[in-house]
Structure 1
């Protein structure tokens, strides 16, 4: 289990995250909702070792991660799928995947590649082509596959549906659910509240760096006024 306790993160004199608590269970999707600037991405970056927290604890099982470098966080089993996918366009699909397995044991890379190709057959078809020529949805699959190459226990996902056509959003979120169902814990930041709540198990709503709601996804759906207050009506109605 990944546990974040009383996390505070600052950029200079600006405090972006104020005492956030969240738990990510194996096989579960924990959804983090909130308006732009609420502190969601900062939370993911702090967990991933990309921005040191001012205070608080980040633990993965019995390991403390709050002062670890990003590569050591990956080695501990926590990997970030960044906003905007950020694939290496000039490199081939397979080269991108192999980069994701950089911290994995060498003898497991070939096996993991074949597993990723089974999960995402389109990547197998495009394995020798430049990643930059993939569609947005295919690039998101590549970003998932690249993260899975490290054999994570927890995946942090930052806006996986961003910039995708509505028909592709459902497919991507279905893949998120499938990843969790394989036993991996998922902490997902997502603006498409309505669609994301359909695949999530738990939800937290963040405003001004603080958690203002925490509960099951079902409770979040039934407390639409809470989500509405911090996301707006448009976010709840997306995909309706």
Structure 2
């Protein structure tokens, strides 16, 4: 469905992404692991149409989109859940969600809202309250729900667990798995590798803007250098 091939992205003269290739299939979660500054967020932003690549191809269902505007990328079925949630604090929960469905026909918005409320009941309870008054976990659910309002075929999710309590992390990532199981492809950047690998199907590891390892989530969990870098020496001893 989504194919990224030999992607190169720079900020001025500084290269951030150096030839990353990744594939996302319907109903699967591909996890992107890497240290801060490895090029993970830049890759997602480039796919989403927010930062044009220097070279490489991005195709969605066989159609090239790497030079499309962000709104055209959304219309093609790719939606970004940004790092830091970025909800519109003064607006209500429901107003935030409706903004997420701006590319959808108006007649279908109620149906989309109900789907999101079924997935995140707490948002239904808070629908008339200001988004800025939600907890961090609730704001992450709102950002996730806002993206789902566009009926995406592929979700790009950037650091969904950032700043959240462990119990909320499990809830959010469980919902990510449920969304993937519904047929949506997911490309997710996540620092909490141990938990994320439990729900992912595949993983790529990037360093200095390059892919240094790719494989199934199970292969990633058993690869010694990946385990050392992201799961710690204790996990490595458990695997051996």
Note whether the superposition's TM-score is higher than 0.5.
Answer: yes
**Counterpart Cα distance in 1 of 2:173 and 2:123:** 18
**Equivalence for 2:137:** 137
Figure out how many residues of one structure are paired with residues of the other and give that number: 236
**Equivalence for 2:97:** 97
Q: How does 1:139-178 map to 2 (within 5 A)?
A: 139-178=139-178
User: Any idea what SS the aligned residue of 2:90 has?
Assistant: coil
Report deviation, 1:62.
2.1
Report deviation, 1:236.
6.7
Structure 1 segments, 4+ long, off by >4 Å, are 234-237
**Counterpart Cα distance in 2 of 1:195 and 1:44:** 21
User: Any idea what SS the aligned residue of 2:160 has?
Assistant: coil
**Equivalence for 2:232:** 233
Report deviation, 1:71.
0.4
**Equivalence for 2:69:** 69
Query: Which digits, 9 at most, give the CA deviation of each residue in 1:165-184, with x for residues without a partner?
Result: 11111111111111101110
Report deviation, 1:119.
1.3
User: What TM-score comes out, normalization by structure 1 length?
Assistant: 0.95
User: Any idea what SS the aligned residue of 2:173 has?
Assistant: helix
Give yes or no for contact 1:194–1:236 (8 Å, CA) kept in 2.
no
**Equivalence for 1:193:** 193
**Counterpart Cα distance in 1 of 2:210 and 2:235:** 20
Comparing 108-117 with 88-97, which one deviates more in the overlay? 108-117
Q: Structure 1 119/235 Cα, relative in aligned 2: closer, same or farther at 3 Å?
A: farther
Give yes or no for contact 1:191–1:235 (8 Å, CA) kept in 2.
no
Give yes or no for contact 1:19–1:56 (8 Å, CA) kept in 2.
yes
Report deviation, 1:102.
0.5
User: What TM-score comes out, normalization by structure 2 length?
Assistant: 0.95
**CA RMSD in angstroms, aligned pairs only:** 1.5
Q: Structure 1 21/188 Cα, relative in aligned 2: closer, same or farther at 3 Å?
A: same
**Counterpart Cα distance in 2 of 1:19 and 1:214:** 14
